[in-house]
Amino acid sequence: MNENMRIGQEAVEAKGWWLAHKWLVLRRASQLGILAAFLAGPWFGLWIVKGNLNYSLTLNTLPLADPFILLQSLVTGHVPEKLALIGVAIVVGFYLLVGGRVYCAWVCPVNLVTDAAGWLRERLGIKGGAHVSRHARYWILALTLLLAGITGTLAWELVNPVSMLHRGLIFGLGTAWMLVLAVFVFDLFVMNRGWCGHLCPVGAAYGLIGKVSPLRVTAVKREACNDCMDCFAVCPEPLVIRAPLKDAAKGVGPVILASECSNCGRCIDVCSKDVFSFGSRYNNAASMAGVAQAAPK
């Protein structure tokens, strides 16, 4: 119905610019804010955070460690010191609650790159490209662990664009920009949402952590959906939306339970009918009657 309209234009008209971009703006603020906190030290001598996303120490007290890299390190046979273990526990605990791939949408610097590629791809109307299963990332995740075991080193770190970009921005980029550019070009020309949506094992690992997270996006007002398909177009993981949005008749609840959802909230922004909102995984009764019964409590 809106073939000539840009994604989200209907929402802007219906809700105004801010409500049609709220979560996007907040998300960018989070990504850039976290990056700024890391950069304040090396750039201005303001040591709020030391380290990088693999491990960091905030205000000299709060340790945060990346579970994926520590798991690889464990597989090589090294048991880390206390600080790293505390850091991992905090991080895992946090993402267990808010959704694992919140890391992807709200923290990871590569998301800025791949989102830019996705945006440009849409703008330029580039269609098609290579097809790979979205399960590939879990295979690659398994591969990284296998490599760690076989080589006894953190082999994936030699090519991991996530840590390369983040570490590079803070400690000196060197030629890491080439790898980042490669990811951009890959997403732009070769595969739609190729890196984050199909291949990245970091995102896959965080996705697994978020399998049971209470905080989820939910299509509470799904009966208001007018099939504009903007949410499908804007979502980096469109497969996660279909069933909760469309399969009410089959008894599927409205909550997006798939752990690939990164809780980015773009679908919330872009929907002119306000079908989506953040909610709890447990408010997932299939019929609206069920929701109505559960709500007054």
Partner 1 sequence: MESAKKSVLAARRQFLLDAARMAGGVGMLGLGVGLYAKQAKALPPAAIRPPGAGTEQDFLGACIRCGMCVRDCPYNILFLAKPEQPIATGTPYFVARSGPCEMCEDIPCVKACPTGALDHKLKDIAKSKMGLAVLIDKETCLNFLGLRCDVCYRVCPLIDKAITLDLRHNERTGRHTVFEPVVHSDQCTGCGKCEKACVLEVAAIKVYPVKLAKGELGQHYRIGWEEKQKAGGSLVAPDAEHKYNLPEGMHYESGKGLSSGPAPTPGAGVDSLQGVVPNPGRNAAPAGNMPQNIPGGGLSSRMTDDAPR
Q: Site residues (CB under 8 A) for partner 1? A: 41, 47, 50-52, 54-57, 63, 65-66, 69-70, 73, 76-81, 83-84, 87, 132-133, 135-136, 139-140, 143, 146-148, 150-159, 163-164, 167-168, 170-176, 178-179
Q: Please list every residue from 275 through 294 that binds ligand SF4, using CB under 6 A.
A: none
Under rule CB under 6 A, residue 255 binds ligand SF4 = no
Tell how far CA 242 is from the center of its chain. Answer: 18
Nearer to ligand SF4 by C-beta: 143 or 286? 143
- Sign (positive/negative) of CA torsion 139, 145, 148, 154? positive
Nearer to partner 1 by C-beta: 5 or 178? 178
**Distant-in-sequence, close-in-space partners of 1: CB < 8 Å, separation ≥ 6:** 226, 227, 228
Whether residue 218 contacts residue 284, with contact meaning beta carbons closer than 8 Å, is answered with yes
**CB < 8 Å & 24+ apart, contacts of 237-242:** 237/134, 237/193, 237/197, 237/261, 237/262, 239/134, 241/267
Under rule CB under 6 A, residue 147 binds ligand SF4 = no
Report the alpha-carbon distance of residue 283 to residue 297 in Å, rounded.
Answer: 11
**Distant-in-sequence, close-in-space partners of 259: CB < 8 Å, separation ≥ 6:** 99, 100, 101, 207, 208, 210, 211, 213
Count of residues in contact with ligand SF4, rule CB under 6 A: 11
Whether residue 5 contacts residue 12, with contact meaning beta carbons closer than 8 Å, is answered with no
Report the alpha-carbon distance of residue 83 to residue 111 in Å, rounded.
Answer: 28
Question: Which one of 110, 117, 240, 275 is in contact with ligand SF4 (CB under 6 A)?
Answer: 110
The DSSP output letter for 272 is: T
Under rule CB under 6 A, residue 108 binds ligand SF4 = yes
Whether residue 209 contacts residue 96, with contact meaning beta carbons closer than 8 Å, is answered with yes
Q: Which does 182 bind (CB under 5 to 8 A by kind): partner 1, ligand SF4, none?
A: none
Nearer to partner 1 by C-beta: 132 or 208? 132
Q: Which does 50 bind (CB under 5 to 8 A by kind): ligand SF4, partner 1, none?
A: partner 1
Least Å distance, CB 70 to ligand SF4, is 10
Nearer to partner 1 by C-beta: 111 or 163? 163
Under rule CB under 6 A, residue 104 binds ligand SF4 = yes
Whether residue 224 contacts residue 163, with contact meaning beta carbons closer than 8 Å, is answered with no
Q: Which does 263 bind (CB under 5 to 8 A by kind): ligand SF4, partner 1, none?
A: none
Least Å distance, CB 211 to ligand SF4, is 16
Q: Which does 203 bind (CB under 5 to 8 A by kind): partner 1, ligand SF4, none?
A: ligand SF4
Backbone angles phi and psi of 55, in degrees to 5:
-160, 140
Nearer to ligand SF4 by C-beta: 66 or 269? 66
Nearer to partner 1 by C-beta: 98 or 173? 173
- Nearest CA among 149, 150, 153, 169 for reference residue 161: 169
Question: Which one of 64, 200, 256, 257 is in contact with ligand SF4 (CB under 6 A)?
Answer: 200
- Nearest CA among 188, 205, 197, 192 for reference residue 54: 205
Under rule CB under 6 A, residue 209 binds ligand SF4 = no
Where do contacts with ligand SF4 occur on this chain (CB under 6 A)?
A: 104, 108, 110-111, 114, 162, 195-196, 200, 202-203
